[in-house]
A = this chain, B = another copy of it.
């Protein structure tokens, strides 16, 4: 009767019991009731304290575990994890918001068939001289040019990919998951770079402004590259953020 928890489970809530338990435990960790290194109450204790079944407690603890908030050691207990920089994950929400709600417009600067250079051929796993489609787009937010996009797509007359890719909505589809394309997976890398003269002019910025270069290669279900390209984002208009630990 000593450890009566302050928060209780609301059986009439729409929020499932296991989710309530996750929320309660997260709140206690955030409030400092359980600190890094501390042991959480055992699952049996949690069952009794909150009046729920073992499987429900297990589910809640599992969620905390693969959220990286706690670590469970068999035979010893469940412990609150200390801060780890390496758990930080940066996502592309900032970039994605660009393509929401029609606040952005895509202007097609160029789209033509070219022959692959040595570099392009290597990236796309084709032969030098093979034909590719080169696309250049500029993404505006209102009147402001925000992102420049260059992309090489393998030229394949049997596929209607070219026409689809050239549509202004193609980019949006990539971000918000539109049509089920025949792309299986992709590799992304972020590099630090500076704007070239051409890029600075298009983005209405100064030459040599620090910028991000988000490179992407997409593969089809035969694991063959389909497209290679990159986004150029001026560094004074973009940043990536992450939060580690358990904020309020």
Contact = CB atoms under 8 A, between A and B. Distances in A.
A129 interface: no
A215 to B, nearest CB: 9
A125 interface: no
A186 interface: yes
Contact of A90 (B35, B177, B208, B240): B240
A189 B240 contact: yes
B83 A218 contact: yes
B32 A185 contact: no
Interface in A38-89: 55, 66, 80-89
Contacts of A187: 241-243
Contact of A188 (B91, B190, B244, B248): B244
Given A86-B175, A177-B82, A32 B246 contact: no
Given A86-B91, A223-B248, 20 more contacts: A30-B184, A36-B180, A66-B66, A81-B177, A82-B178, A82-B181, A84-B177, A85-B92, A85-B175, A85-B216, A86-B176, A87-B91, A89-B91, A90-B188, A185-B245, A188-B243, A191-B235, A192-B192, A193-B235, A219-B247
Contact of A92 (B86, B91, B185, B241): B86
Nearest to A80: B180
B174 A85 contact: yes
Contact of A246 (B91, B185, B190): B185
A48 B4 CA distance: 43
Contacts of A210: 191-194, 210-211
Counting chain A residues whose Cβ lies within 8 A of the other chain, the interface size class is: 35 or more
Interface in A186-213: 186-194, 208, 210-212
A239 B191 contact: yes
A105 B27 CA distance: 38
Interface of A: 30, 32, 35-37, 55, 66, 80-93, 95-96, 174-194, 208, 210-212, 216, 218-219, 221, 223, 235, 238-248
B82 A188 contact: no
A191 B97 CA distance: 18
A241 B190 CA distance: 6
Given A82-B180, A86-B92, A90-B90, A186 B32 contact: no
